[in-house]
Amino acid sequence: MSGLPVNLSDSQIAEFGRQMDRIKYEVTRSLGDDDARYIRRLIKIQRLMLVAGRLMIYASLPFLPMAGLAVGSWVVFASVISLGIVALAVAKILENMEIGHNILHAQWDWMRDPQINSTTWEWDTHCVAEHWKQTHNVVHHTWTNVLGKDHDVGYGFLRVDAAQPWRPRHLIQPFFNVVLMVFFEWLLSMQSWRIEDVAEGRTTLAQMRPTIRTTLRKMLRQGLKDYVLFPLLAGPFFPVVAAANFVATVMRSIWSNMVIFCGHFPTGSYLFTEEQVENETRAEWYMRQMLGSSNFSGGRLMTIISGSLNYQIEHHLFPDMPSNRYPQVAPQVRALAAEYGLPYNTGTLLGQYWKTTAKIWRLALPGQAAPTEIRKQVSKAA
Partner 1 sequence: MSLGQKMKWVLDSYFTPLTSSHYIELLNPLWADHQLHAKVVAVIDETKTARTLVLQPGRNWRIHRPGQHIRVGVTINGARHTRTYSLSSAPEAGGGQIAITVKASEGGFVSRHLTTEVKVGDLIPVGLPQGLFVMPEAGPVRPLFVTGGSGITPVMAMLRSLAIRRSAMSIVHIHYARHAWDVIFGQELRAMHRSLPNYRLIEIYTENKRRGIPGISDQPADLHLTRGALTAICPDWQDRESWVCGPTGLNEAALQIWRECQVESRLCIEAFHAKLAPLPGDAKGGVIKLQRSQKEISSDGQSSILQVAEAAGINLPHGCRMGICHGCNATLIAGTVRDLRTGAVRQCSPGETVQICVTAVSGDSEFDV
Yes or no: say if 296 and 350 are a contact pair by the CB < 8 Å rule: no
Q: Rounded to a whole number, what is the distance in angstroms from the first to the last CA of the chain?
A: 15
Window of 148-156, 182-190, 214-222, 274-282 that interacts with partner 1 by CB under 8 A: 214-222
304 alpha carbon, distance to own chain's centre? 13
Q: Candidates 225, 297, 350, 366: give the one binding partner 1 (CB under 8 A).
A: 225
Yes or no: say if 98 and 63 are a contact pair by the CB < 8 Å rule: no
Measured CA distances, 293 to 153, 271, 277, 316, 380 (Å): 12, 10, 16, 7, 20
H-only helix segments in 95-183? 102-104, 129-132, 141-142, 173-182
* Interactions with partner 1, residue window 121-140 (CB under 8 A): 122-124, 138
Nearer to partner 1, 34 or 275 (CB): 34
Burial (CB < 10 A; 0-12, 13-18, 19+), residue 37, is: exposed
**Residue 109 CB, nearest distance to partner 1 (Å)?**
5
Window of 113-121, 206-214, 251-259, 325-333 that interacts with partner 1 by CB under 8 A: 113-121
144 interacts with partner 1 by CB under 8 A: no
What are the helix and strand counts (H, E) for the chain?
18, 0
Q: Going residue by residue from 172 to 211, which x/- string records binding to partner 1, judged by CB under 8 A?
A: ----------------------------------------
| CA pair distance 33, 41, nearest whole angstrom | 12
With contacts defined by CB under 8 A, how many residues of the chain interact with partner 1? 32
Window of 75-83, 110-118, 291-299, 341-349 that interacts with partner 1 by CB under 8 A: 110-118
Amino acid at position 238, single letter: F
Q: Going residue by residue from 301 to 330, which x/- string records binding to partner 1, judged by CB under 8 A?
A: ------------------------------
Nearer to partner 1, 36 or 147 (CB): 36
21 interacts with partner 1 by CB under 8 A: no
Residues in contact with partner 1 by CB under 8 A are 28, 31-37, 44, 47-48, 51, 109-115, 117, 119, 122-124, 138, 218, 221-222, 224-225, 229-230
